């Protein structure tokens, strides 16, 4: 076998191993809602969101997501849910106004 062909075979084998490992371990490349050291918050009365450093309170006009309903990854169950729902000024979950 030529050196060039050997290199290609080794690279192919390495790629196959990485792919198999990802599938077998459930590894995914889903994007996190916020970076390390931050937590997600949502706008009151709208569908906007932001990330706040842990240990800090949400800025004015934002609130924490209700417990157990916090999006962890872009496109997950709760991220999708909060695209059509929001929290009103009294903390009630309501459908988001159109165009928000």
22: pLDDT confidence band, cut at 50, 70 and 90? Answer: very low
56 phi, psi to nearest 5 deg: -105, 150
Q: H-helix or E-strand containing 50?
A: strand 49-53
pLDDT tens per residue, range 34-89 = 999 999 999 999 999 999 999 999 999 999 999 999 999 999 999 999 999 999 99
CA dist 35 and 46 (Å) reads 22
29: pLDDT confidence band, cut at 50, 70 and 90? Answer: low
CA dist 51 and 88 (Å) reads 19
pTM, two decimal places? 0.67
26 phi, psi to nearest 5 deg: 75, 20
- State the residue for tokens 């609130």: 63
Q: What is the mean pLDDT of residues 15-21?
A: 49
pLDDT of residue 37: 96
pLDDT of residue 23: 44
CA dist 43 and 11 (Å) reads 47
pLDDT at 25 over 50: no
pLDDT of residue 69: 97
């Amino acid at each position: 076998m030529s050196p060039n062909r050997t290199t290609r075979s080794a690279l192919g084998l390495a790629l196959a191993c990485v792919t198999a490992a990802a599938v077998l371990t459930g590894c995914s490349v889903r994007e996190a809602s916020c970076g390390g050291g931050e937590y997600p918050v949502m706008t009151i009365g709208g569908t906007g969101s932001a990330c706040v450093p842990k240990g800090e309170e949400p800025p004015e006009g934002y609130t924490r997501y209700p417990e157990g309903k916090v999006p962890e990854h872009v496109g997950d169950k709760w991220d999708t849910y909060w695209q059509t729902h929001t929290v009103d000024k009294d903390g009630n979950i309501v459908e988001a106004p159109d165009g928000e």
